[in-house]
A and B are shown apart, each in its own frame.
Chain A
Amino acid sequence: MAQVTDLTLSSTQRGLWWGAIIGGFVVVLAVAALLTVLVVLVRTIDQRVVAVRDTLKAAAANTADTALIAQTAAGVEAVLAEGLEHHLFLGRVLGKVRS
């Protein structure tokens, strides 16, 4: 004859079970609240990153013309060369005027 196992819970076990269920539900709510906070913070980070990206795009647009600095330097160098030519010309003319 098979032995029959009694699976009924005692009142103490039932109380503990209900406590676990309620505690688990509370934990679920706490986790949901904390994850909501986490999502909000991550959304803020996302917005700030978008703002940083836009600022960097503006900075990149502002510095896009820095390649002209090299051309400007070449132009100033040409001015210096022309000034040397003027110096030689004025030196010759001044020598003739004084002689």
Chain B
Amino acid sequence: MVALSVIVIALLIAGLAFYLFVVGSQLNRIATNLEECAEIVRTVVEHAAVIEPGVEHINRTGGVVAGALPLLYGMAEGIVVGVTPAPAVPVERGPARPASGRRRSRLHDSVGYAPNGNSSNGAHRPRPQPESELPV
């Protein structure tokens, strides 16, 4: 009975020691991982520290650029308008006509026909007589 008591006590101590070893090793591993996590968090914070001032700088400069662009292309349009020659006023052009005038037909002259007493070229046109020379 005494031996059984000793066995029970030894079993309790051995169980406690075993579980203490297991939990201790697990907690050591967790501590190592947590230390690594803390180091990574510090790295992330270090990386993120430059984000805010950099983005503010970009936003400020980009705003200035965006505000200046309309002025720039307004000036460029003014230059284009200034150097572009004004288009000439379009002239209303009629149909093309020969410079020698209307073409003369010689067919009537060849047959001695003079419509209305006028030849086409005026060669056979009777000279108008003055009234004083008219026969009475």
CB distance from A61 to the nearest CB of B (A): 10
A1 within 8 A of B: no
Chain A: CB-nearest residue to B37: A53
The interface-forming segment of B11-19, B92-100, B110-118, B123-131 is B11-19
Within 8 A of A (CB), among B18-63: 19, 22-23, 26-27, 29-30, 33-34, 36-37, 40-41, 43-44, 47-48, 50-51, 54-55, 57-58, 61-62
User: Using a Cβ–Cβ cut-off of 8 Å, how many residues does chain A contribute to the interface with B?
Assistant: 49
Judging by beta carbons under 8 Å apart, are A49 and B23 in contact? no
A4 within 8 A of B: no
Asked whether A2 is an interface residue with its Cβ less than 8 Å from the other chain, the reply is: no
Q: How many A-B residue pairs have CB under 8 A?
A: 132
Question: Which of A27, A59, A63, A67 has its CB near the most chain B CB atoms (within 10 A)?
Answer: A63
For residue A24, which residues in chain B have a CB less than 8 angstroms away from its CB? Answer: 5, 8-9, 12
Taking the closest CB of chain B, its distance from the CB of A11, in whole angstroms, is 13
Which residue in chain A gives the minimum CB-CB distance to B82? A97
User: In whole angstroms, what is the CA distance A99 to B9 when docked?
Assistant: 111
User: CA separation between A91 and B55, bound complex, in Å?
Assistant: 31
Q: Is the CB of A42 within 8 A of B50?
A: no
| Complex Cα spacing A72 to B78, Å | 32
Contact A39 B58 (CB under 8 A): no
B61 touches A90 (CB 8 A): no
Residues of A within 8 A of B83 (CB): 97
Q: Is the interface of B mostly helix, strand, loop or mixed?
A: helix
Taken together as a complex, chains A and B put the C-alpha atoms of A70 and B44 apart, in Å, by 17
The answer on a CB contact under 8 Å between B75 and A53 is: no
**Interface membership of B1, Cβ < 8 A:** yes
> Is B68 engaged at the interface, CB distance under 8 Å to the other chain?
yes
Give the residue of A50, A73, A83, A94 whose beta carbon is less than 8 angstroms from that of B79. Answer: A94
Q: Are A80 and B61 CB-contacts (below 8 A) given A21-B4, A56-B44?
A: yes
Question: Please, which residues of chain A bring their CB within 8 A of the CB of B9?
Answer: 24
Contacts of A84 in B (CB 8 A): 68
For the A-B complex with A53-B40, A69-B58 known, give 14 more contacts whose Cβ atoms are closer than 8 Å: A24-B8, A35-B16, A39-B22, A43-B26, A46-B33, A49-B37, A53-B36, A56-B41, A60-B43, A66-B50, A87-B75, A90-B72, A93-B79, A98-B82
